[in-house]
Amino acid sequence: MDHVDWKQVLLGTLEDRRLSRSERRAFRQLLEPLMGDRDSLERIRTLAFEIARETIVDPPSGEVLPWLEDVVRTLAFQEPKSTLVEEAFFSPDPACVARILELFRTAKRTADVCVFTITDDRIAEAMIEAHRRGVVVRVISDDEKRRDPGSDIDGLASQGIPVRTDRTADHMHHKYALFDDALLLTGSYNWTRAAANVNDDNFVVTDSPKLLLAFRSHFDRLWQDLATGSPR
């Protein structure tokens, strides 16, 4: 990226859980050489989310969200024509599956999926293609739906994509996904042909730092729980 140790820069501003006016000014000065460099700015943004996730597990971390939002806004100032992402989709409409496919095609580093059921082969194929490109794809799904005819979960696992499911009579009923810790997709939309073609469903896509961090923390907690034997 460059010679700046961005982790130390960010940690230095996090010490008092606030990005002060002077810290914001100094941060912008350091960012000036990266004006318009989306890849470098995205890496710094991802690093800020990683630091916030590590910090939020501590009880005194209540002010980490305002800090994260300040950092994200400062980074956005350096991006060309940066705009807030607030998208809504309603099925049945081909735009729904098209947007999901696009999110996997454009993912660069990570795609964490927490979805009740996946039977739409188009989406499963996009997930596999992303995995083959080097994107770290992880899937959490429902144990009972995994056994349904037409489920793509075992097919994803057979391609080397890590999959974890709950182990209870209840359902893992979430429907959300995180892409590069930069975009969140969430709503009632199951990743099925029925949702695409006949069901009345919805989802939103957003880059809200507060929501990204909340869903990221939830995914990490659930992923860990399912690895250690907890049903949830």
By annotation, the residues acting in catalysis are 173, 175, 180
Within 10 A of 77 (CB to CB), how many other CB atoms are there?
14
Rounded Cα–Cα distance for residues 142 and 166 (Å): 6
The Cα-based distances of 6 to 76, 152, 162, 216 in angstroms read 16, 40, 30, 21
- Label the pairing between strands 86-91 and 175-179: unpaired
Which of 31, 52, 49 has the alpha carbon at shortest distance from 40?
A: 31
In the block, tokens 């391609």 appear at 159
Residue 44 belongs to what H/E stretch? Answer: helix 38-56
Rounded Cα–Cα distance for residues 185 and 73 (Å): 21
